[in-house]
Amino acid sequence: MHYREMDFRFPKLRSRESAHQFFRELMTAYPDISDIDFQTRHPPMVQIHGKRFALQGEVDESDILTLINSCFSHQTGKGDLHNERLGINTILAIPLGGNDWLRFRFNAVLCQLPGAGRNDASGVQISLRYIPSLLPDWRQLGIPEALIRDVWYPDGIVLVTGPTGSGKTTTLAAMIRHALEENEELVDHKIITAESPIEFLYNHPRISQSQVPSHLREWYLSNVEAMRRNPDMIMIGELRDRESIRTAIEASMTGHLVMTTVHVTYVSDAVSRLVKAFSAEEAPAMTADILEALRLVIAQRLVIGADGRRVAVREWLFFDRAMRRTLMRVPPVDLATAIQEQVDHKGHSYRTNADQLLAAGRITPQRHNYILRGFD
């Protein structure tokens, strides 16, 4: 098999504490790990600055069950996975002593059992995403000062988009940290969140974080309760379905700034991606509502930088009132093209950002060409 191997042996995990100790030792030895994957009958794989490496050793069924049980005090997770054919999405929190924790976003799904001839022979893949305990700083993420300065509105939706693993939640966390710690104009702002699951922990008296369904049973309840809590800003972790999209639009239309994320690569595709969650009959009204609510869309992806670390390349577009009115008159089939034209003429495109990163020495000429090929 073709993969890189690192000098770290995966031990057999036979108890919750042995699993916790494995993660403590692994992250101490390799603190730049961002992702860890476990799959039955394969070695664990870790990702460091976009490169994947295999640990020594192989994952068996017992290891998988121990990892799942590390997240639960009962067998609910295992039952959902094997009996209900549901994925598990939660947070794995490992105590480090005192108030310090090692935290990962945890996902587990059934998959084909490697080496088995029958298609119904099931293994499990577990994917972990490391969540740093320190909130990200916008300067370290390369967010332009003009962007962080102008991201704040009295109402509407600010959307951070990108493919899986592109740092959307990290960018959003850096913006909220800026609002909490640096922006004097927002010193009186109260912030609430609805997340599934809660990732970054803010630990600040001006922000309250709630998890769906642990703290609020349904997404719409976050909006119902928000009206009773008098927030200035609402962060919704991700717009993933009709319910969360409606929640964001309704909150923005009642005088709140909503900051959220969605899985789409380009600014131009954000509106159509959200509208696809609704029926054909609902689509025209939802398109108008989404356009009316949008204030800023930031799209980003991560590439390998000149120093071997990952760097974000971004594009963005501010949606002012005149632009929103113009776009509302565009036929739905032409909307993505019309928005892309606005990005090219009034926004900041991926091409422009890639040119800036090259000029600053953040990416190599080869990586610059690789980025541009994706937009031809």
pLDDT tens for 203-237 read: 999 999 999 888 988 887 887 888 889 999 999 99
pLDDT at position 120 over 90: no
Yes or no: say if 161 and 148 are a contact pair by the CB < 8 Å rule.
no
Same domain, 214 and 127: no
Same domain, 119 and 151: no
Q: pLDDT (tens digit, 9 = 90+) per residue, 188-199? A: 999 999 998 999
Same domain, 10 and 117: yes
Same domain, 8 and 61: yes
Note down the domain range covering 36.
Answer: 4-131
Q: What pLDDT does residue 141 have?
A: 95
What CATH number is attached to the domain comprising 24? Answer: 3.30.450.90
Residue 137 included in any domain: no
What CATH number is attached to the domain comprising 174? Answer: 3.40.50.300
Yes or no: say if 211 and 235 are a contact pair by the CB < 8 Å rule.
no
Query: Model pTM greater than 0.75?
Result: yes
> End-to-end distance of the chain based on CA atoms, in angstroms?
34
Distance CA(264)–CA(295), nearest Å, equals: 17
Residue 139 included in any domain: no
Q: What pLDDT does residue 375 have?
A: 67
Domain endpoint, select from 74, 101, 131:
131
Q: 1-5, 75-79, 149-153, 165-169: lowest mean pLDDT where? A: 75-79
Q: pLDDT (tens digit, 9 = 90+) per residue, 263-290? A: 999 999 999 999 999 999 999 999 999 9
Same domain, 216 and 242: yes
Residue 136 included in any domain: no
Distance CA(42)–CA(116), nearest Å, equals: 13
Same domain, 202 and 340: yes
Domain endpoint, select from 100, 131, 162:
131
Length of the chain: 376
Structurally, the chain folds into a number of domains equal to 2
Residue 140 included in any domain: no
Mean pLDDT throughout 338-363? 96
Alpha-carbon separation of residue 60 from 55, 57, 113, 180 (angstroms): 14, 10, 11, 45
Q: pLDDT (tens digit, 9 = 90+) per residue, 286-332? A: 999 999 999 999 999 999 999 999 999 999 999 999 999 999 999 99
Residue 342: how many other CB atoms lie within 10 Å: 17
